[in-house]
Amino acid sequence: MKRTARNPEGETGGSPVKPQPPRPATAVDEPRGVGPRLLAVRALAATETDQAQASRWLNNNPEAAGLSESDRALLTSLVLGSLRLRRPLDQALRGVLARPIEKLPPELAWNLRLAAFQLLEMRIPAYAAVNSAVEITRQFGQTWALGFTNGALRKLAARAERDRAAAGPVKKPPAEALPDWLIRLRREQTGETAALAWAAAAIQTPPLTLRVNLRKGTRDGIAARLLEEGVHTHPCVFSAEGLTAGEGAGKLFKSKAFAAGLCAVQDEAAQLVCAWLPAFPDGPILDACAAPGGKTTHLAERFPGRELVAVDRPGQRMALLSGTLRRMGASHVRALPGDLLEPVPELARRQFALVLLDAPCSGLGAIRRHPESLRRLTPEDLPRLAAAQSQLLERLAPMVEPGGLLAYVVCSDTREETTEVVNRFLKSHPLFQRERFSAGAPELISRDGDFAPPLAFSGMDAFYGACLRRRG
């Protein structure tokens, strides 16, 4: 938060101090560091009360945008770290709270979790974490809870200090941060060792990965432009168009290079889906479920001159897609509002050389970036999503021209949403056959030829892609 400056002339005996309007509760009165912490509590509470996506809240909030680079980095770490470790944080707090944390107002509950995260994971000094939490309780007008907050957090800090003195820092197994049903699912599908590796990866901080816009420069040239604005990068391991941001990453979204569409934020695995597609006929392309537009603009860059139609639902998703197309200079792409589970008149009787279906999914492959999903997902979601994915494939199959490709991709690695969906489709559609991704990295390709990088392999999200060729 920016601090409100006093009138310097009034302090030195110059012109009299003018009457000031009431200051916002988050201004001068805040102890140092409360600003990003208060915003963190607001963001965290919004994930619960408004079902907000934390990363989108952080990117769109004007107060967050006004923070310094260091405060913005702190804000992001606090929000995503508290979401990832919500379950063990709640377990720790239950030992010091006089009432169930689930019964507390969302702002108070997240304020306590945030302070616990600082005490237990960031090793913030107890006085700083406790005092800022008490002040935030005051800012939210919860004066009845000041003593409650102070007492509980001081007990937690003392307990943590005793535990460290007795046995040194103790890290709970990563699986304890995950819902029971999810770790059971991982064990059933991948075995104990792989399940525990997945759990450890799921609570880590992912890299910020960029895809350069090759229509506006080379990878080295765009990296140099970013460096001029203080954003250090290094090339991705597999994607020839990818950069991983390092020092100065917080400056990216305010940079002129980003505003000019020289790059897009896109995980390396998502880049490889388009880069490693097998050859397909020289014809039009359909990007189904296209928002927010990362793969759409990538296809536009890789296949210039092709007709490219990008479809997604009207409203927020179409607005996201349109914004990405404008920024990346892909004005020739036709953005078409429509729900592909219903007839779309503009697509009637049309066929395409490539149909890319980036299907709605659980997002478990990108769980590091959207940790609020750990609480929202249930076991019942997987069969429901798989049914919708199968229905979308059914709708799109007639739109693939003979010899063309139907590429099915999801940012998930559960069997229900990946191989089971594809195998079921192929069994009922003999006109289609599986085709191997044309990758130069066999470790990312399954025995069936599908694209299947595991979570956190070379920093990537877990992803799945299958290429289905229509027989000609």
Report the catalytic residues. Answer: 411
Distance CA 446, CA 438 (A): 12
Evaluate whether 181 touches 375 at the Cβ level (below 8 Å): no
197 Cβ partners below 8 Å, 6+ apart?
A: none
Question: Beta strand pairing status for 432-435 and 400-410?
Answer: unpaired
Neighbour-count burial of 113, counting CB atoms closer than 10 A to its CB (0-12 exposed, 13-18 middle, 19+ buried): buried
- 312: which 2 tokens? 């997604």
Evaluate whether 47 touches 54 at the Cβ level (below 8 Å): yes
Residue 447, Cβ neighbours under 10 Å: how many?
6
Amino acid identity, residue 174?
P
Instruction: Specify whether the backbone of 129 is left (phi greater than 0), alpha (psi in -120 to 50) or beta.
Output: alpha
- Does an H or E element contain 311, and which? strand 308-312
Q: Is the dihedral of CA 62, 63, 69, 74 positive or negative?
A: negative
- 425: which 2 tokens? 């489709």
Evaluate whether 282 touches 403 at the Cβ level (below 8 Å): no
Distance CA 46, CA 51 (A): 6
- 455: which 2 tokens? 């979570």
Q: DSSP per residue over 55-123, as a string?
A: HHHHHH-HHHHTS-HHHHHHHHHHHHHHHHTHHHHHHHHHTT-SS-GGGS-HHHHHHHHHHHHHHHTS-
Residue 201, Cβ neighbours under 10 Å: how many?
18
Amino acid identity, residue 222?
I
- 143: which 2 tokens? 């004066």
Question: Beta strand pairing status for 242-245 and 233-235?
Answer: antiparallel
